[in-house]
Amino acid sequence: MSDLLLIDDDQELCELLSSWLSQEGFAVRACHDGLSARAALAEAAPAAVVLDVMLPDGSGLELLKQLRHDHPELPVLMLSARGEPLDRILGLELGADDYLAKPCDPRELTARLRAVLRRSHPAAVSSQMELGDLCFSPVRGVVNIDAQEFTLTLSESRLLEALLKQPGEPLDKQELAQIALGRKLTLYDRSLDMHVSNLRKKIGPHADGRPRIVALRSRGYYYSP
């Protein structure tokens, strides 16, 4: 049974989702503001977090920033009543693993959570991957380049691992989405592109200025050795 922390000020929605997710095998703890959420996280780290953008005592995006600092590999799925593109982009830029607009179908939420949890517990993970000056530990989600260490989110780790397994060989966006997000991309879905952008910012280019991750228009990405 996976322990899930649900953070949303809509208590009626929390009761509905908690009931549904409990029937689906999740152990759900619900918090309705940032203060109680921080206390719950300090008490015990969950297997995943479902976090609303709007909280009564602050922004869910600010809480996401703290989560990414304190628990970089903790799967986080964002919710927003508005579902505005800006909210989605900001959430993904700050490291959310996935995003759903409210009202959401509980079945879709369950599917997304199971996908992100499968990615957080892969059947087999390489102990260490090295390519040029880059050393990557998929288990720890940490990249080391010239003695500098960078911590990756779960989605960034899965993405980099897939690219490093086939250096120089393009991977289709849908294939990468299945690996990094656990689902197919929908029309106008830029989630994968946002995760690639975040990863690029963290690991930077090669010493000679060449990009490490190269985009092929309308096709996909590859890691340039």
What tens digit of pLDDT does each residue of 119-139 get? 776 554 557 899 999 999 988
**What percentage of the chain carries pLDDT values higher than 90?**
56
Q: What's the confidence (pLDDT) of residue 221?
A: 96
> Is residue 26's pLDDT more than 70?
yes
Of 80 and 78, the one with more pLDDT: 78
Q: What's the confidence (pLDDT) of residue 124?
A: 47
User: Nearest Cα to 1, choosing from 23, 17, 20, 31?
Assistant: 23
CB contact set of 13 (below 8 Å; sequence gap of 6+): 102, 103
CB contact set of 36 (below 8 Å; sequence gap of 6+): none
171-195 burial: b if 16+ Cβ within 10 Å, else e: bebeebbbbbbbbebeeebebbebb
Sketch out the chain's domains with CATH numbers: 2-120 (3.40.50.2300), 129-223 (1.10.10.10)
Of 224 and 182, the one with more pLDDT: 224
Q: What's the confidence (pLDDT) of residue 203?
A: 96
Confidence of residue 201 (pLDDT cuts 50, 70, 90): very high
SS3 category, 215: strand
Q: How buried is residue 10: exposed, middle or buried, by Cβ count under 10 Å (0-12/13-18/19+)?
A: middle
* pLDDT tens digits, 44-55: 889 999 999 889
